[in-house]
Amino acid sequence: MNKENKEKEEKDKAEEANITSEDSKVRNKSFYFDTACTSHMTPRAGRLLNYSVYGGFVKSSSQKSMEIVGNGDVVMDCVLRDGSVSSFCVRGVLHVPDLAHPLISWRKLREKGYTEFGEGDYISINKGTKVVFEAVFDGNLIEIPETSHSAHITYDFWHQALGHLAPSTMD
């Protein structure tokens, strides 16, 4: 009987190891608001909806040439300073795998009639009277805060959510 209990305990530990995962692996990196870039761009194809193959090159501010491999649309759920969330669809986002950070271009937004208002470390982007998103200076770049749609895949989360079940019960 002791051997059976030990085997069951080892199985439970193995199941726990399979269930546990780092939450950060499923999060999207934030987009940054860029007043100098000429196009909306992202290195992550997974963020793009309506993806299509597209060719060409873009140059970075350091004059490095980077290949464009596709384009698509991005839906952003932007967190505003008042705690509300604004959904915003950005069309024509280029997929540039060598890019360091996803970028939203002020030039492209301005061409479409958006306005910009800055106050302290915050920049508000408006369409008419509606605040579409707000960006905040994080010390290096101007980040666009988004809600996190990360999955709860850690053992601890589900252990509590399901009433402190043992790992073997979760099968």
Q: What is the pLDDT of residues 107-132, one digit of tens each?
A: 999 999 999 999 899 999 999 999 99
Residue 4 lies in a domain: no
Residue with tokens 């608001």: 33
Question: Structural domain of residue 75, as residue ranges?
Answer: 29-148
* pLDDT bucket at 154, cuts 50 / 70 / 90: low
**Residue 96 confidence (pLDDT):** 95
Q: Which of 16, 17, 19, 15 is nearest to 152 (CA)?
A: 19
Lowest mean pLDDT across 24-38, 86-100, 139-153: 24-38
Q: Is residue 105 part of a domain?
A: yes
In a domain, 115, yes or no: yes
The CATH number of whichever domain residue 73 belongs to comes to 2.40.70
Does the pTM surpass 0.95? The reply is no
Asked whether residue 62 is domain-assigned, the answer is: yes
- Give percent of the chain with pLDDT exceeding 70: 69
| Tally of domains in the chain | 1
Position 64 in a domain: yes
- Strand blocks (E) in the chain: 31-34, 41-42, 49-53, 57-59, 65-67, 70-79, 85-95, 103-105, 115-119, 122-127, 130-137, 142-144
The predicted model gives 62-74 an average pLDDT of: 92
Mean pLDDT of 146-165: 61
What is the reported pLDDT for 64? 87
Distance, CA of 157 to CA of 57 (rounded, Å):
44
87 occurs within a structural domain: yes
Residue 3 confidence class, pLDDT cut points 50, 70, 90: low
What pLDDT score does 24 carry? 35
Within a domain: residue 155? no
Q: Of the segments 55-59, 94-98, 159-163, which one has the largest average pLDDT value?
A: 94-98
Residue 162 counted as domain residue: no
